[in-house]
Amino acid sequence: MIIVTGATGKLGRRIVEHLLERVPAERVGVSVRDPRKAQDLADRGVRVRQGSFDDPASLVHAFEGAEQLLLVSLDRTGEECVAGHRTAIDAAVKAGVGRILYTSQMGAAHDSLFQPCCDHARTEDLLRATGLPWTSLRNGFYAASALQFLEPARHSGDIALPADGPVTWTGHDDLAEATAAILTDEGRFEGPTPPLTGPAALDFAAVAELAAKAEGRPFTRTVVPDDAFREQAVAHGAPAAMVDLMLSIFAAARGGEFNAVDPTLAELIGREPAGFRALLERTWAE
């Protein structure tokens, strides 16, 4: 059985849907905080069990019978994130899971300027220490983040953000399909995968050009100094810790942490991954 955590989330849900296109529902299980949100999956024959990263015993039960476990990384940062992952990995060992797969990120490194990438590196260390077969999915930076940054520009026409560097923005749908492909080809990757990325690395100046072509109207790119960006965001009510995390994305991008472009994602899904313009057009049409 293949067990997926976070199966009601943005990425996890898509992965389960792609899995169900490849294997019978009885071979798929999910571990979710609230089983009511996964009732439709249960109705389709998926095994649904409650599992909380704050309740180790629940995870051991949720992971029972897993030949493969996909651990979708937590939406937390720092020690809170790594501790949750440690709880899940320990539960997987106790449950006798055959292989653990983990949704990491292309920039995973202990010295990253972006805290989540440090958390991913520490989690990969935990996986390595289990002695179990494991795979770390080095996902490209989610395009959804760039689209959130662009939301004010959608109305103003000005992309006013800190200085950045090229980032290989990658769509959730393509990553979910690739993950399902890897899960159904057990053992295809040992340890970290190559970067699973979109087709091009773009900075926000290039994004402005794509937005202009997509919308048929001009977009400008204004570089806002980090300190000014922080001051403005906090003044508008954003928590300081969240703003600092956002700023670290731009610092890491300037350092070239997210600019790799690799063909592996295209090979896994059998086509060119969606480019940023297509993702932007799809989102702005909603």
Domain spans, the chain: 2-138+172-192, 146-166+199-259+274-284
Q: Are strands 158-161 and 191-192 parallel, antiparallel or unpaired?
A: unpaired
pLDDT given for residue 187 in this prediction: 77
Domain range 146-166+199-259+274-284, its CATH number among 3.20.20.370, 2.40.50.100, 2.60.120.260, 3.90.25.10: 3.90.25.10
The model's pLDDT over 63-106, given as tens digits with 9 standing for 90+, comes to 999 999 999 999 999 999 999 999 999 999 999 999 999 999 99
Phi, psi dihedral angles at 170 (to 5 degrees): -135, 140
Neighbours of 20 (CB within 10 A): 17
What is the H or E stretch that residue 158 is in? strand 158-161
Asked if domains 2-138+172-192 and 146-166+199-259+274-284 share a fold, the reply is no
CATH class of 2-138+172-192: alpha beta
Segments of the chain with pLDDT less than 70: none
